[in-house]
Amino acid sequence: MNYVLITGGAGYIGSHICKFFFDEGFVPVTFDNLSKGNKWSVKWGPLELGDLSDEGRLKRLFEKYSFIGVIHLAALSSVEQSCAEPNLYYKNNVIGSFNLLQKMIEFKVKNIVFSSTAAVYGNPIFLPIDEKHPTQPINPYGDTKLAVEKLIYNYSKAYEINFISLRYFNVSGSDFLNKIGEAHSPETHVIPLALESIKNNNIFNIYGDDYNTKDGTCIRDFIHVKDLGKAHFLSFKKLLSCKACEFINVGCGKGFSIYEILDSAKKITNMGVSTSIVKRRDGDPDILISNIDKAKKFLSWKPKYSDINSIISDSWKWHQIYS
């Protein structure tokens, strides 16, 4: 059997990746502690409960399945929380990844696709951001992801680990037909928060209007979760076919401000939204926009669903029924 370990496979992104791998003939094995993920979203392969901090549980997992590779998603991912509680992030994200890599070496599993982030870049020196941009994270979340990238890179040299690290920009959208979408608790992402405010007639908080941007709100690059799922699959296929030690951006290559997101959401829902300006959050850069030329060339990948209106429309379908 073509078993692929998906750490964090019960989460929003993980569930979409599991579906993609299942559709392509692989058996995705979800390893998740369900602290952020949802049991109901594990539909395309077995669920193994456990935590990356538990080395004994990890060993039993690797003894049970002969994995041909790993998609490593499991991590804490709130910028705001990482600034308030950095100890949680270094323990969970860095030490957990170390434990995983140790088991990969012990059981001779050579291939890993790592879920990284655009937060490794920090405040951009130039735009759009390509993979040669300096990595200078401005929050503990981004720093833990960069630490794991360095860990995997050094392990690749010493232990012949084959890897691709995907640096995500902002992920949204849903797979409405297969009943999976964003269901975080608490929700921290801008598009589902905006849609929840519209649906429930609540005030939407805008975290700062003093950014160095055209309308004062921060600008972000959004990728549809289905496009991200394909990027993981193409990365994994590349690892199976050749040696690779690569860092690759995945986004749509365009940026949208918070006000632009709200304008699109109002048009799609045909509803209004009340807003309130609150203090900007620590660790939030002004602008993040990706250069995705490397993904297009190295992976033969390009975003298919990542038009911002398509992302918000898919998200709205999901939130109307399931949120």
Q: What are phi and psi of 172, to 5 degrees?
A: -155, -170
Using alpha carbons, select from 112, 171, 117, 170 the residue that is nearest to residue 147: 117
Q: How far apart are CA 124 and CA 135, in angstroms?
A: 9
Q: What angle do the packed helices 55-64 and 96-106 form, to 10 degrees?
A: 40
Q: How far apart are CA 7 and CA 33, in angstroms?
A: 9
Q: Is 153 part of the annotated catalytic residue set?
A: no
Residues in Cβ contact with 178 at an 8 Å cutoff, skipping those fewer than 6 apart:
19, 43
Residue 35 is which amino acid? S
Q: How far apart are CA 156 and CA 282, in angstroms?
A: 33
DSSP 281-295: PTT--SB--B--HHH
Q: How far apart are CA 150 and CA 261, in angstroms?
A: 34
Q: What angle do CA 101, 104, 107 make, to 5 degrees?
A: 150
Q: Are 134 and 142 in contact (CB under 8 A)?
A: no
Marked catalytic residue, from 65, 89, 121, 141: 141
Q: Are 69 and 1 in contact (CB under 8 A)?
A: no
Which residues are known catalytic residues? 141
